[in-house]
A and B are shown apart, each in its own frame.
Chain A
Amino acid sequence: EAGVVQSPRYKIIEKKQPVAFWCNPISGHNTLYWYLQNLGQGPELLIRYENEEAVDDSQLPKDRFSAERLKGVDSTLKIQPAELGDSAVYLCASSLAPVYEQYFGPGTRLTVT
């Protein structure tokens, strides 16, 4: 069984540029999460989807961040424009349902210069 797939694995951009991350969850997993992991910190939830509905986006900085999960499968997280402080690892995770354990992808390491 394939795990959670994320791309790209690494991204370097200049500040004020847009960037997008893609996530393909484990087949059949209805719940999808995006986390932000700063260096030396644990992951922090940005947004949670139940199928195609964003049910918890309270931690998503909506002025520059956006996310979508069309058709309730793949998801895209976008930052526009990126700031220096956005440099971090962006993790995607999925689970069968909110109460079940979460499976994480390898993450996308973003560097904003």
Chain B
Amino acid sequence: AQSVTQLDSQVPVFEEAPVELRCNYSSSVSVYLFWYVQYPNQGLQLLLKYLSGSTLVESINGFEAEFNKSQTSFHLRKPSVHIIDTAEYFCAVSEPLTGGGNKLTFGTGTQLKVEL
């Protein structure tokens, strides 16, 4: 069975500082990897995804994540954060199911709090 580990439940950081949110996964087969962001009282929004090809993927708002197969990691980074980045970030892995379809498994989330 697949699983996702987000070791940091909370990450406080000052505005314009860099940040890394860690994500490790376990799976016995090839997977797709995702980062979702959840702002207060809102649903999850897809931030970026890795399906295949280049191991470095980027979002439109400056986040990037790198798929590292040997370390089974998919860490999320941003070189300079802003107040509006304050949110809960969830890493997720999608694994194909026997008989068709994919199952999405989420980590427990990391609360990013950007301070002035």
**B103's contact among A40, A43, A56, A106, by CB below 8 Å, is which?**
A56
Whether the Cβ atoms of A42 and B109 lie closer than 8 Å is: yes
Whether the Cβ atoms of A45 and B43 lie closer than 8 Å is: no
Which residues of B have CB within 8 Å of A41? Answer: 108-109
Counting chain B residues whose Cβ lies within 8 A of the other chain, the interface size class is 20 to 34
**B43's contact among A31, A50, A99, A107, by CB below 8 Å, is which?**
A107
Whether the Cβ atoms of A98 and B100 lie closer than 8 Å is: yes
Contact with B along A1-34 (1 / 0, CB 8 A): 0011010000000000000000000000001010
Total number of A residues with any Cβ neighbor in B under 8 Å: 26
The tally of CB-CB contacts under 8 A between chains A and B is 55
Residue B92 at the A interface, CB < 8 A? yes
Chain B residues within CB distance 8 Å of chain A:
4, 9, 34, 36, 41-46, 49, 90, 92, 96-97, 100-104, 106-109
Q: Apart from A42-B90, A101-B49, what 12 extra A-B contacts exist at CB < 8 Å? A: A41-B108, A42-B4, A42-B106, A42-B108, A44-B106, A56-B97, A99-B96, A101-B46, A104-B36, A104-B44, A105-B43, A106-B41
- Contacts A/B (CB < 8 Å), 19 sampled: A4-B43, A40-B9, A42-B90, A42-B107, A42-B109, A43-B90, A44-B106, A56-B97, A98-B101, A99-B102, A102-B46, A102-B104, A103-B46, A104-B44, A104-B45, A106-B41, A106-B42, A106-B43, A107-B43
